[in-house]
């Protein structure tokens, strides 16, 4: 079984945003939202010795995804190949998974009221194509492949050349998006955009015992819309309490 991963080479990325544009076009992402986003760290150092780095952010398809644990309806799940997917027919838009994600890689589509995020372009993979961001990258800085395949570029970059995960000593969920380049560059990214502790896991687990049977039995029923409004109020209240 394949175990998919992506590597971004920070030595090549020029922050042109081609990956973001390609992803938005491929998945009809609404204006103001993104599955993939390119960010730049603040400039550090003293002139003329200045430093900055680029961060290409997306869902990390984590080995131990907190979003799966937090999802009360069962809409978010992890496939055998490591990809974390969202079943839109089961998603109720409650947002627990957004709070659980350490990388803030999810959003709720304002038109569908469903959660959306990067899934390595799984529908493209099923027909033998690479993710849209990979084939569109103008600098050829993005690599995609199977970590179980010793001949793949991602295997070599991760296990032979030391591409790094964006993890800290306290947040270690096994992200499968890696970053190649100087350690100083990934250190800048970690300092500027560190993964945060997952939130509302216990609340999501508690509600799953009630919600999953209801969602599976009556996905899309009217009462679920009323339930979503209630859960959103609860989520916002608990978030304020945690903050």
Mean pLDDT across 34-46: 96
Domains of the chain by start residue, with CATH = 4-192 (3.30.70.20)
Burial (CB < 10 A; 0-12, 13-18, 19+), residue 61, is: buried
Count the Cβ atoms, other than its own, within 10 Å of residue 241.
7
Q: Which of 60, 85, 61, 83 is nearest to 75 (CA)?
A: 85
Say yes or no to pLDDT of 222 above 50.
Answer: no
How does pLDDT run across 150-162, given as a tens digit for each residue?
999 999 999 999 9
Query: Which whole number is the average pLDDT over 49-58?
Result: 96
Average pLDDT, the chain: 90
CA 136 remoteness from chain centre: 19
Q: What six digits make up the tokens of 70?
A: 């937090």
Chain segment 110-159, per-residue pLDDT in tens: 999 999 999 999 999 999 999 999 999 999 999 999 999 999 999 999 99
- pTM, rounded to two decimals: 0.85
Q: What pLDDT does 80 receive?
A: 95
pLDDT score of 205: 73
Concatenating the DSSP letter of every residue in 208-222 gives HHHHHHHHHHHTT-H
Q: What is the pLDDT of residue 228?
A: 65
pLDDT tens sequence across 164-216: 999 999 999 999 999 999 999 999 999 999 999 998 777 777 767 766 676 66
- Could you give phi then psi for residue 146, rounded to 5 degrees? -105, 120
On the question of pLDDT at 105 being above 60, the answer is yes
Give the pLDDT confidence score for residue 206 in this predicted structure. 72
Q: Count the Cβ atoms, other than its own, within 10 Å of residue 31.
A: 7
Contact 199, 27 (CB under 8 A): no
């Amino acid at each position: 079984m394949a175990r998919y991963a992506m590597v971004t080479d920070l030595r090549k990325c020029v922050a042109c945003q081609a990956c973001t544009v390609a992803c938005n076009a491929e998945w009809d992402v609404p204006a103001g939202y993104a599955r993939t986003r390119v960010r730049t760290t603040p400039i550090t150092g003293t002139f003329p010795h200045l430093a900055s780095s680029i961060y290409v952010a997306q869902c990390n398809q984590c080995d131990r995804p907190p979003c799966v644990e937090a999802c009360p309806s069962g809409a978010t799940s992890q496939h055998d190949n490591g990809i974390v997917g969202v079943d839109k027919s089961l998603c109720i838009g409650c947002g627990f998974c957004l709070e659980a994600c350490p990388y803030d890689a999810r959003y709720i589509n304002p038109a569908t009221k469903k959660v959306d995020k990067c899934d390595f372009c799984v529908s493209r993979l099923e027909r033998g194509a690479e993710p849209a961001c990979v084939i569109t990258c103008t600098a050829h800085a993005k690599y995609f492949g199977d970590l179980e395949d010793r001949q793949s570029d991602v295997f070599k970059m991760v296990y032979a050349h030391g591409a790094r995960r964006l993890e800290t000593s306290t947040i270690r969920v096994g992200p499968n998006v890696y970053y190649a380049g100087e350690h100083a560059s990934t250190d800048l990214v970690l300092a500027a955009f560190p993964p945060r502790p997952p939130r509302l896991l216990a609340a999501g687990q508690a509600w799953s015992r009630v919600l999953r049977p209801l969602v599976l039995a009556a996905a899309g029923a009217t009462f679920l819309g009323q339930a979503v409004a209630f859960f959103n109020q609860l989520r916002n209240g608990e978030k304020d309490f945690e903050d």
